[in-house]
Structures are given as structure tokens and as C-alpha cells.
Amino acid sequence: MHVVIMGCGRVGSTLAHSLESRGHSVAVIDQDADAFRRLGPDFGGITVTGAGFDGEVLREAGIERADAFAAVSSGDNSNIISARLARETFGVSRVAARIYDPRRAQVYERLGIPTVATVRWTADRMLRHLVPEGTVEIFRDVTSTVSIIEVPVHKDWIGQPLRQLEEYAGSRVAYLTRFGIGTLPTASTVVQEGDQVFMVVTDDIIGSVTSLAAAPPEGGQ
């Protein structure tokens, strides 16, 4: 793949090295030429000085052959403008933008631009560690319809088939974390003590799914 990254801060430079280490070609755009120092002498990709929402700058970075585009500068407006330009003008299929304001993130995701809302993501991750019994959304699709949440389950579900929990709660288990490792459930998976269960929900069923999962199985105590 050829990936174009707008923004050579800590996120952009780290992303560039990660992609390059995986064998992808990378071009990095930044308005400050000094920012490219973060890439170090071993970086083998392209660096382009300029604005990521400038069509000529994007072309110089290889946007016309790009498979993906990441807008990770420090400006919300610049990120979303360049992301929309990459998708709508140059037809890049995989586009993502870093957004600091979560209210903007929700709007742009409805336009089909996947976003990473930095403050919201960090706060949610912290909440998961501080208040593990809370319902925390860890993923939402670009249409803002389907999400994945961590669902605390009643202790009486331990030893019960996971498929029984799915039927009872009315939702599918996306994955579970067991001993700190993400695991995809199978038909024979049984709930074990310490499992963290993550279920796929829509907004209208979050309440019922969480309350049912927090209750004992039918016939339990």
C-alpha cells in the first residue's frame, strides 16, 4: 500500500514508521519542514512541505496512487478538509482523521469520514480502568448506528455457554478478553471468571442488553 499522512507530529511520525516497518510506502506532509526531523535518518519515505489540503501538495505526495490517507495534524479543520479532499476529489477509499472535538467527530463520521477523537478516546479508556462496572463504548461505526460496548455480566453466568448469554441478552458477543488477551468466541466458549465481554449493540437496545447481562440466567439465583 501507499499511504499519505498529513501531520508529522508524534502521532504522524510514529504512524509513518509503523507503516514503513510493515513494508508499505509512506509520504508525510507537514507545513513545517523542521517537523520531519522526527522521522529520523532511517525513514525511507517521501516528505513534502506544504498544506495537506493543497491539491498540488497532495499530488506530490502521491495521493493519486494512494491506498489510504491519514490526517493527524494539530488542527481539526485542516484534518477534516484534507480528509474530505482525499476521499471526494482523489477517490482514496481508506481515509481517517484525528479530531480533538468529539462533537465534530460525530458530525464528520456521519459524513463517512472515520475519526479518532483524541480526548474522548483517552477519557473512555481511562474510565474503563477507573470504573470497570460502567458501560463504556469502545467502537462506533461510521454511520453512528452500531457500537461495541463492554458489558459487565452477573457472576452466575460463569460456567455457562456464551451463546446462552447472547440469546438471553439479545445481542452478539464481538469478542472477549481473557487473561488480558482478546479472544474470538466459538460455539463451545464458556464464560470464565475474569472474562471481559464486549457486545455489539445499537443505541435502542443498550439498556436492555446491559441490564439482562447483569442479571443471573433464567432459573439462577
Phi-psi region of 134 (alpha: psi -120 to 50; beta: other; left: phi over 0): beta
**Which of 4-8, 18-22, 117-121, 137-141 has the largest mean confidence?**
4-8
pLDDT for res 143: 66
For 124-171, the pLDDT digits (tens) are: 555 555 444 456 677 877 666 888 988 989 999 999 999 999 999 999
pLDDT of residue 26 exceeding 50 = yes
How confident is the prediction for the chain on average, in pLDDT? 86
Residue 221's pLDDT band (boundaries 50, 70, 90)?
A: very low
Within 10 angstroms of residue 15's Cβ, the number of other Cβ atoms is: 20
Neighbours of 72 (CB within 10 A): 24
